[in-house]
């Protein structure tokens, strides 16, 4: 198993050939099979004698891969898709082949150095000081949780007699904030957004002051603003919320898992004024920064606080504590894949201007799509897109109609667009993050409505 013999050599050629074809050709959309369909084709794949590399690769090629939707398909517009650059995908092969350990400087100095330069690019774009730093974690959920754990650690050091810690966020905040609160056993203070679904600084100030007045034993330890909501791409009043949090000495976290990617373009960067006030923020390169799964950039204004909160201690780990930058120390993890390297490679190879161009291209397509929806006789645009999410409704349709249409669109292998809800009513949304998606793709989908 551990020797590169002739059989493995032949398998390597086949795996590389398969990978290159997948990268060169337009991806198939594909879709889920049922368990029974998969079992009928595959049966038990884990056997005592093994199936052999070629046969196992065939099972992946002809069955398993076809039962997975290609998230980089240009007409995959559901949830938040993924659109890695060719170089990022190719470098992922290198990362896989290199047995890199990304947890410590001792073991992974070169990789950590490169990842940190990519993180610094993001941190500088956000306007954090040069002393800021962080780590690539698995996704926005873990990024948000790790930041909030650091925030509570910091708050606990200052006030020890609090009975319940509380996170303040809007009713539009991502579900991962609720999940973090549940894992941390803290409460959530939900603050209502304005009519445009944007959380405002003055509402945050008012809500926190009232809450503290009414609940002397509870304390808000973090305010979370969203820089690009998942459903509609709305950016909260980052500046006002940041000031509200800073004035009260409360940790300010910006969840920009999807939206903060648009810092990459000088045209969209001004939308995020106020992010420079953050104590921590996240952005997922696997969403709109053209990196493969899974990579969330988590950045702290003062990484020392995060290091204190997250460093694991044990006799066998003490040898790592030599004052160097150990990525393990900045989130909830120890062993880690150097998951930021494909992003770094592509960024270093292409340069940041290309990222700005791709960002602008997807933004422009979102605007054009909104225009087409406005002209469409059966559709109503929900609001002008602020980022690259375009939400709309179809006249006279209920939840069942939307779901039936979405299922048929996938079954017919036209596209993948799933229904969502807004203010309790069903909607459709296009999340456009893929520079391969063209206006023709959008027209093809709109023609089915
Ligand atoms: C605003 C926001 N925050 C957090 C997340 C969670 O990120 P992940 O799915 O990478 O855990 C998402 C995912 O879409 C998101 O849109």
CA 417 – CA 72 distance, rounded (Å):
13
Tokens 């780990």: give the residue: 317
Q: What per-residue confidence (pLDDT) applies to 72?
A: 97
CATH number of 94-350: 3.40.640.10
Residues 36, 312: Cα–Cα separation, whole Å: 44
Helix/strand/coil (H/E/C) assignment for every residue in 137-175: ECCHHHHHHHHHHHHHHHHHHHCCCCCEEEEEEECCCCH
Tell me how far the alpha carbon of residue 315 lies from the centroid of ligand 1, in angstroms. 36
Alpha helices, H only, 285-398: 285-288, 303-310, 341-350, 352-375
Write the CB contacts of 306 (distance below 8 Å, at least 6 apart in sequence): 134, 146, 147, 150, 280, 300, 329, 330, 331
Report which of 376, 372, 396 is spatially closest to residue 385, judged by C-alpha positions: 372
Cβ contact 297:340 at 8 Å: yes
Only one residue has tokens 């079954």, namely 411
pLDDT at 181: 98
Residue with tokens 């952005």: 283
pTM score, whole prediction? 0.98
- Tell me, what's the pLDDT at 122? 99
Q: How far does residue 282's CA lie from ligand 1's centre (Å)?
A: 9
Tokens representing 221 are 């330890």
Q: What pLDDT is stored for residue 427 in this prediction?
A: 98
How far apart (Å, rounded) are the C-alpha atoms in residues 440 and 44?
42
Residue pair 67/30 in contact (Cβ under 8 Å)? The answer is yes
138-172 in b/e burial notation, b at 16+ Cβ within 10 A? bbbbbbbbbbbbbbbbbbeeeeeebeebbbbbbeb
Q: Measure 10 CA to ligand 1 centroid, in angstroms.
A: 40
pLDDT for position 349: 98
CA of 170 to the centre of ligand 1 (A): 15
pLDDT digits (tens, 9 = 90+) for 84-113: 999 999 999 999 999 999 999 999 999 999
| CA 224 to centroid of ligand 1, rounded, Å | 13
pLDDT digits (tens, 9 = 90+) for 145-166: 999 999 999 999 999 899 999 9
CA 335 to chain centre: 20
Provide the residue ranges of all domains of the chain, joining segments of one domain with +. 94-350, 352-446
CATH of domain 352-446: 3.90.1150.10
- Alpha carbon 279 to its chain centroid, in Å, reads 19
Q: For residue 96, what is the enclosing H or E element? A: helix 86-97
Query: Ligand 1 pocket: which of 258, 288, 291, 339 to mutate (most atoms <8 Å of CB)?
Result: 258
C-alpha–C-alpha distance, residues 328 and 104, integer Å: 6
Determine the Cα–Cα distance for residues 210 and 213; give it in Å rounded to an integer: 5
Determine the straight-line distance between the first and last CA of the chain, rounded to whole angstroms. 53
Whats the size of the chain, residue-wise? 449
Pocket flag, ligand 1, residue 257 (CB < 6 Å): yes
pLDDT at 109: 98
| CA gap 408, 131 in Å, rounded | 51
Provide the token pair at 318: 């003490």
Mean pLDDT for each consecutive 10-residue tract of the chain (449 residues)? 97 98 95 98 98 98 98 98 97 98 98 98 98 98 98 94 97 97 98 97 98 98 98 98 98 98 98 98 98 98 98 95 95 98 98 98 98 98 98 98 98 98 97 98 98
Check residue 428 and give left, alpha or beta (phi > 0: left; psi -120 to 50: alpha).
Answer: beta
Ligand 1 atom nearest 138 alpha carbon: 10
What is the rounded CA–CA span in Å between residue 249 and residue 220?
A: 10
Q: Which of 448, 417, 287, 436 is nearest to 365 (CA)?
A: 436
Nearest C-alpha to atom 7 of ligand 1 is from which residue?
140
Question: Alpha-carbon torsion 391, 143, 88, 418, what sign?
Answer: negative
pLDDT at residue number 160: 82
| pLDDT tens-place string over residues 41-57 | 999 999 999 999 999 99
């Amino acid at each position: 198993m551990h020797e590169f013999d002739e059989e493995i050599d032949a398998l390597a050629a086949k795996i590389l050939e398969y990978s290159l074809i997948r990268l060169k050709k337009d991806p198939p959309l594909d879709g889920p099979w049922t368990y029974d369909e998969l079992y009928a084709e595959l049966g038990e794949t884990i056997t005592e004698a093994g199936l052999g590399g070629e046969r196992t690769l065939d099972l992946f090629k002809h069955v398993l891969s076809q039962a997975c939707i290609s998230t980089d398909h240009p007409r995959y517009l559901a949830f938040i898709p993924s659109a890695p650059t060719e170089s990022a995908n190719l470098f992922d092969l290198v990362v896989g082949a290199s047995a890199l350990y990304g947890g410590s400087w001792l073991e992974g100095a070169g990789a950590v150095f490169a990842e940190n330069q990519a993180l610094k690019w993001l941190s500088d774009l956000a306007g954090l000081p040069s002393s800021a730093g962080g780590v690539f974690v698995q996704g926005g959920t873990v990024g948000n949780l790790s930041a909030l754990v650091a925030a509570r650690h910091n708050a606990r050091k200052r006030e020890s007699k609090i009975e319940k810690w509380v996170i303040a966020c809007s009713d539009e905040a991502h579900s991962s904030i609720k999940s973090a609160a549940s894992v941390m056993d803290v409460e959530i203070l939900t603050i209502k957004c304005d009519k445009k679904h944007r959380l405002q600084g003055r509402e945050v100030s008012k809500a926190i002051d009232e809450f503290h007045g009414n609940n002397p034993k509870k304390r808000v330890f973090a305010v979370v603003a969203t820089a690009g909501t998942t459903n509609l791409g709305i950016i909260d009043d980052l500046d006002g919320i940041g000031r509200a949090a800073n004035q009260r000495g409360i940790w300010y976290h910006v969840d920009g898992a999807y939206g903060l990617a648009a810092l990459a373009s000088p045209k969209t960067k001004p939308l995020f004024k106020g992010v420079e006030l953050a104590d921590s923020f996240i952005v997922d390169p696997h969403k709109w920064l053209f990196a493969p799964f899974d990579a969330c950039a988590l950045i702290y204004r003062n990484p020392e606080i995060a290091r204190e909160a997250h460093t694991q201690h044990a006799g066998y780990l003490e040898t790592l504590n030599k004052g160097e930058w150990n990525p393990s120390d900045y989130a909830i993890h120890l062993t880690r894949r150097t998951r930021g390297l494909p992003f770094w490679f592509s960024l270093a190879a292409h340069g940041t201007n290309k990222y700005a161009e791709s960002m602008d291209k997807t933004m422009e397509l979102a605007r054009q799509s909104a225009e087409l929806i406005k002209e469409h006789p059966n559709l109503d645009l929900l609001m002008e897109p602020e980022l690259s999410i375009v939400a709309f409704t179809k006249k006279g349709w209920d939840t069942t109609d939307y779901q039936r249409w979405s299922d048929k669109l996938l079954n017919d292998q036209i596209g993948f667009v799933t229904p969502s809800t807004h203010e309790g009513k069903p909607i459709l949304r296009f999340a456009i993050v893929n520079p391969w998606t063209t206006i023709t793709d959008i027209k093809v989908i709109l023609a089915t409505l």
